[in-house]
Amino acid sequence: MKVASRVKRGSLESTVQGLFISAPYPGDQKFFGQPTGLLYALSVLADRKLQKTSSKEIVSVEMPVWAPAGVTDFSNSKLKEELTDYITEHRPKVVGISTFSASYQNALAIKDLVKKIAPETLVVFGGAHEDNFVKHYRKNDRIDADLVVAGDGSHLLDAVYSIVESNPHATVEEIKQNIYSRREELESLPGTGLLLLETKTGIESITTNAAEHKRLRKQTLLGALPIMPRYLLQNEDEVSSGFDIFQNPKEENLKTAQVMVGQGCPYACAFCSEGIGTVWYDDDAPNAREPRRSIEHLEKELQELKQEGYEAIFFDDSTFFAKPKKYLAEVLDLLAKYEFRWG
């Protein structure tokens, strides 16, 4: 994995170096493609920094996203060597790790490596595994990282990063104290995010949109978020052409964007993590409805993707075909209009 070189910084008052990683699958369980959940989680933060710097290049250097392929043995992997070099040279203040259950052991190994090299780096866990692990953490009264962000965390992650920016030389414990001292501010944020952190008395939880009754809390609409910041991906073209779902007549992989028109699932089945039901949380489970994006918002994204050389669209929705037929027909019309292959 090639690492972007440093560029001249923008006009941020306090620049914090970050690094965000989609934890790789183990062994032959290789996932090729874009980490849509992680990129959406970073959308509010990336947009705020982009407004200040007016440069996607600067933002992509200050908070790069790594999406490595699977590794058989992290301890002897090239990824470990690259990550060691990066942490040693750049000393990021924040490392965010998004993980599925299948990749959790690699997430823990990455965390341990980061802490060994840079103990005062704040390590934040998120992703599908964390959504499903909230009850487990609470039962055991401990978490596996400095912070855990679960659920709809775009605004929450931005606020946490802003707190770190306000005092970039703070220790991890001081950062956690600062976060907890601003609990009311975080609880007023939109969405259905949940932040877990350990204190001297045990695990504390901070939920966004906390003033609403637990069953009235609504997740942030994807259409209300900035368009997914794919420019954060290191080696974006390589990552976007890494799997063979779509190919040209020469059997070359097409540059493929992963897109979502809805988030979660409207059914909330107890056996499935996609509904984010109370089986995973306690009394702060978010509403599991699946509001879809407007056609206008989707078209804006498709226009950008066409300009950036994308040729195919892979829909990452949990229940893509559960949308109304009229809405799906409009989506298909857009795909035809911009000549995207899709699946």
At 220-271, the pLDDT tens digits run 778 889 999 999 999 898 888 877 889 999 999 999 999 988 776 666 666 6
Q: What is the pLDDT of residue 152?
A: 84
Q: What is the pLDDT of residue 167?
A: 94
Beta bridge partners of 314: 258
Q: Is the pLDDT of residue 284 over 70?
A: no
Q: Enumerate the H helices of the chain as residue ranges.
A: 36-41, 43-53, 56-62, 78-90, 104-117, 128-132, 134-140, 154-166, 172-181, 183-187, 236-240, 295-307, 325-337
Q: What is the pLDDT of residue 7?
A: 41
| Mean pLDDT within 306-319 | 91
Q: What is the pLDDT of residue 29?
A: 59
Q: Is the pLDDT of residue 51 over 50?
A: yes
Which pair of structure tokens corresponds to residue 16?
A: 């914090």
Q: What is the pLDDT of residue 299?
A: 96
At 108-118, the pLDDT tens digits run 999 999 999 99
Return the SS3 of 11: coil
First-to-last C-alpha distance (Å) of the chain: 28
Q: Quick one: pLDDT band at residue 215, thresholds 50, 70, 90? A: low
Instruction: Tell me which of 16-25, 288-297, 329-338 is least confident.
Output: 288-297
C-alpha neighbours within 13 Å on the C-beta side of residue 78? 5
Residues 120, 17: contact at Cβ < 8 Å?
A: no
DSSP assignment letter at 75: G
Which pair of structure tokens corresponds to residue 179?
A: 């976060």
Residues 185, 155: contact at Cβ < 8 Å?
A: no
Beta bridge partners of 107: none
At 57-116, the pLDDT tens digits run 999 999 999 999 888 899 999 999 999 999 999 999 999 999 988 899 999 999 999 999
Q: What is the pLDDT of residue 324?
A: 84
Q: Quick one: pLDDT band at residue 211, thresholds 50, 70, 90? A: low
Q: What is the pLDDT of residue 120?
A: 96
Residues 244, 56: Cα–Cα separation, whole Å: 28
Q: Which of 319, 151, 287, 301 is nearest to 225 (CA)?
A: 301
Which pair of structure tokens corresponds to residue 199?
A: 């204190």
Residues 206, 239: Cα–Cα separation, whole Å: 34
- Of residues 100 and 303, more confidence is placed in 303
- Of residues 15 and 7, more confidence is placed in 15
Q: Is 248 exposed, middle or buried (0-12, 13-18, 19+ CB in 10 A)?
A: exposed
Number of helices followed by number of strands (H, E) in the chain: 13, 10
Residues 193, 206: Cα–Cα separation, whole Å: 8
Cα-Cα-Cα-Cα dihedral sign, residues 316, 303, 47, 256: positive
Q: Is the pLDDT of residue 298 over 90?
A: yes
Angle at 316 between CA 314 and CA 321, to 5 degrees: 95
Neighbouring C-beta atoms of residue 202, cutoff 10 Å: 9
pTM: 0.89
Q: What is the pLDDT of residue 317?
A: 83
- Of residues 322 and 129, more confidence is placed in 129
What value does the mean pLDDT of the chain take? Answer: 86
- Of residues 31 and 109, more confidence is placed in 109
Rg of the chain taking only CA atoms, in angstroms: 20
Q: Quick one: pLDDT band at residue 200, thresholds 50, 70, 90? A: confident
Q: Quick one: pLDDT band at residue 217, thresholds 50, 70, 90? A: low
Q: What is the pLDDT of residue 92?
A: 97
At 164-192, the pLDDT tens digits run 999 999 999 999 999 999 999 999 998 88
Residues 21, 64: Cα–Cα separation, whole Å: 8
Instruction: Tell me which of 27-36, 101-110, 191-200 is least confident.
Output: 27-36
Return the SS3 of 164: helix
Residues 125, 17: contact at Cβ < 8 Å?
A: no
Residues 314, 342: Cα–Cα separation, whole Å: 6
Which pair of structure tokens corresponds to residue 85?
A: 């070099």
